Amino acid sequence: MKLRLNIEELNDDFFEDTRLLGIIAPLKNYQFCWQLNSLLGFDFRLNNDYEIPLRRKDRTYHFSIYQSQEANSFLSHYLYHNHCDGEYLLPEFKHMDFLWLMKGDLVDDDKCNWIRQAIKSIAGVQLVAELTNEQIKTKGNMVF
């Protein structure tokens, strides 16, 4: 008997009850995280356990993930850098510099909108847009 892993199902499970924001902000990872932490009260830190290696054109590209855990909650915030040496984690969103995934607990519209507005207030941020699961063609690239 052969067992077959259903990747599509795994991806759907990973993204169940998540919210995803796309951010255009031509800033360095650490500069953006510093601003999120100091101005908005998050605690984003690089999580080396979740780095995503993608193999393209005979080369491996490493996409870093920063994580901030909310106190007294299961909610985690993950900030992905969408670019690495001319390659993209989500090629369908090449114009997005960062992807902000909220996962682990329900995020209602009010909270999501507050986060969007707060990010927009940071110098250098040009756009913050919520992305739907249907818009993401290569969502498996974000699964860690």
Per-residue pLDDT band for 67 (boundaries 50, 70, 90) equals very high
Average pLDDT over residues 18-25: 96
Q: What is the CATH number of the domain that holds 35?
A: 3.30.310
Q: Is residue 122 in some structural domain?
A: yes
Is residue 6 included in any domain, yes or no?
Answer: no
pLDDT digits (tens, 9 = 90+) for 93-140: 999 999 999 999 999 999 999 999 999 999 999 999 999 878 888 888
Q: Classify each residue of 19-33 as buried b or exposed e, where b means 16 or more C-beta atoms within 10 Å of its C-beta.
A: bbbbbbbebebeebb
**Cα distance between residue 8 and residue 33, in whole Å:** 31
Q: How many residues does the chain have?
A: 144
Transcribe 44-72 into DSSP letters.
-EE-GGG-EEEEETTEEEEE-EEEEEPTT
Indicate whether 32 belongs to any domain: yes
Count structural domains, the chain. Answer: 1
Q: What is the DSSP letter of 78?
A: E
Domain assignment of residue 23, yes or no: yes
**Segments forming the whole domain that contains residue 92:** 14-142
Question: What pLDDT band is residue 143 in, cutting at 50, 70 and 90?
Answer: confident
Kindly state the percentage of the chain with pLDDT values over 70.
97
Handedness of CA 53, 83, 107, 130 (dihedral sign): negative
The pTM (predicted TM-score) of the whole model is 0.89
- Does any domain span residue 2? no
Average pLDDT over residues 1-18: 76
In a domain, 9, yes or no: no
Is 126 inside a domain boundary?
Answer: yes
- 7 belongs to a structural domain: no
Q: What is the mean pLDDT of residues 42-55?
A: 92
Provide the CA 116 distance to its chain's centre, in angstroms.
13
